[in-house]
Structure 1
């Protein structure tokens, strides 16, 4: 009891010292003093996921350092209560970043984690890589359970876009080749729209087509267009309005054909 009290007292002294004048030396002393808290949380979290305890412990120290840097000893809060959310939070962020798209049952995660430890132990004892039967027998489970847990863990890993999925003549097709190029698709759609508009535009009466081209493609004013085609500006406006209505009518059947 006396030792715990002295440790808490020493810890508070260091926290006050660091708060008043931060230094790497004092921070490292605080990390060493609170390492047990990190290990305790890492052990608890490691039993709820498939990640190694050692990785979680290392990540936990990052959370501990952040807690040390942000702790205010004058607010009357126990440091351990303040630090736990930071330590656990860093571990959970780490797990979320490492999480695969495919979620597998916790039973299989735990089985795979235990199986890896058994494999290492048997390899050292037998002098060779153990078979699936030997690993399953050592764990006391059916061999198909062990194989399913291995398959689930393997399928959880991301697949490279360079992975070959088929062989066409002398050129292999990779997974990346099958993914659509959004930019190319957009350009393709724009080109299809341009061709349809051009086709509809060519079906208009000549002066109506010229009025639309001069205004929308060459950016001329209606007065300038009127001078070009020999009509009044009001007539240009009417021709443009009528021409656009005709083009909409020509394009509508094509739009209806492409709609699902």
Structure 2
């Protein structure tokens, strides 16, 4: 019989997936925060967050691609270097708190930039620089695998600030980026034989439902300024999770 804490975690996962999927994210930072509040051990938290991330990002990537909100040209240079580095990061068993302060501060300032004037970020695109994308992908992939997230939380604001893709395309690119990095990080993590919670099937259904609804909103109904506002809120939540962990 399911207990109340398990059901509450499922509800929190569903709501987090809905919010994050609306901007093309998987929600790993939120799942980690929920599990930390529930007192779950890190050995369980990391694989659970990555699996949930894969499910939500997979749904999101599918929905955004179907809606034409995706760019292979921008996606693959980031992915080609991030995937092996995410595997490497996932295989390393090191405490992540050394990185969390700087990452939390970076996320917070990125959120402020989006929230202060969400409608004022220009949609005029700049030339895409493949060399920079390859380097950024490697860094984001390694950090993502090490911490147990998909990396879209960092890629989305970067793409918006650099103006390498339209806002709705950014969400689709981020979803696919999160999917491949979460899968790679999880494969690296499997080397340590992580334990999985018995409630994982229930939580998987919850994040799939939330992810489907959120991706539908983001890919077809939310305007670019609203996507930036929601992304700003998501970044604030992620920053607080990292800084207060």
Same fold (TM over 0.5): no
Larger Rg: 1
The alignment's TM-score, normalised by the length of structure 1, stands at 0.21
